[in-house]
Amino acid sequence: MPRRAWLGWISTLLYLPLLYGLGWLTVQPFAAAGLLSGWRPDQVALLGTVLSFALLLITLPLRLNTVWRERRPWHALGVAMGWGVGLRSLLRGLIKALLLLLVVVGVLLISGQARWSGGLITPVEILNAVLLILGVGFAEELVFRGWLWGELNQRLGWGPRADQKALIAQAAVFSLAHTRFNLGLGPMAGLLVGLLLLGLALGLQRRADGGCLWGAVGLHGGLVGGWFSLLSGPLEINPGVPLWLAGPGGADPNPIGGLLGWAALAGLLWVRRRFW
């Protein structure tokens, strides 16, 4: 591989870790000075993550200008494609997330592995769900289906075959970045497969939306925020629910790691098969 190509790969591999490290280092003087003395360690870590994401937003346009030779960086990332396009894509993604959740919840209720308590979702829980949709959904989609997918295309060479390889590669990185490796072999393998399917589904969602990122934001954030709201409110999962069915977590399972999540995502991939 030519030296220039190696330098390009190193730049890609180090970009996010360096931003994360800078965010973490920025927080440390405040913590050392006692300005964050009332904060829990996880809150301090979250502040560092937020600062890292702010650095990402600041530096992304410059990186796309210099590395991708892209003069419209936010358009290339699928973010700035018009309010109408973005809103329609976001709503389509949210509707798909709702349908997937209905499939999972319906099977759990019919099989007796969950109970509908009828409890209402509180305003605080609704606010948390919205923040998860717009916060976690946007941040992760910008990183994985926005920057990383395009970056991999740069390294693999633009074109249909390169884009296909980049689609699979970004899903694999997404899976590895989110899998909990302390769960044991079975649950870990279940999450790896489920997250890979989710990464592919989110990539195909962006393709189906003509490159607009907001559909993937709605799908991703809707799944995370919707499942959080269901478990916080009306849905009670049987603690003894089989791991192979609902995924790891017992009464607070992650269905991505079980047969239910696999089947729902596989169905979505089948529906989106013409965008492969």
Question: What is the model's pLDDT at position 1?
Answer: 55
d(CA 244, CA 126): 30
| Number of alpha helices (DSSP H) and beta strands (DSSP E) in the chain | 12, 2
User: Which residues lie below 8 Å from residue 59, measured CB to CB, with a gap of 6+?
Assistant: 19
**Rounded mean pLDDT of 175-200?**
92
Helix (H) or strand (E) run with residue 236 in it: strand 235-237
| Whole-prediction pTM | 0.92
Please state which of the ranges 31-35, 40-44, 121-125, 184-188 shows the lowest mean pLDDT.
Answer: 121-125
8 A C-beta contact, residue 215 and residue 89: yes
Tell me the pLDDT tens digit for each residue of 21-60: 999 999 988 888 888 888 888 888 889 999 999 999 999 9
What are the percentages of helix, strand and coil residues in the chain, rounded to 5? 75, 0, 25
Domain residue limits, the chain: 1-67, 81-275
Q: Which amino acid is at 136?
A: V
Question: What is the model's pLDDT at position 190?
Answer: 94
Distance spanning both ends of the chain, measured CA to CA? 29
**Rounded mean pLDDT of 184-190?**
90
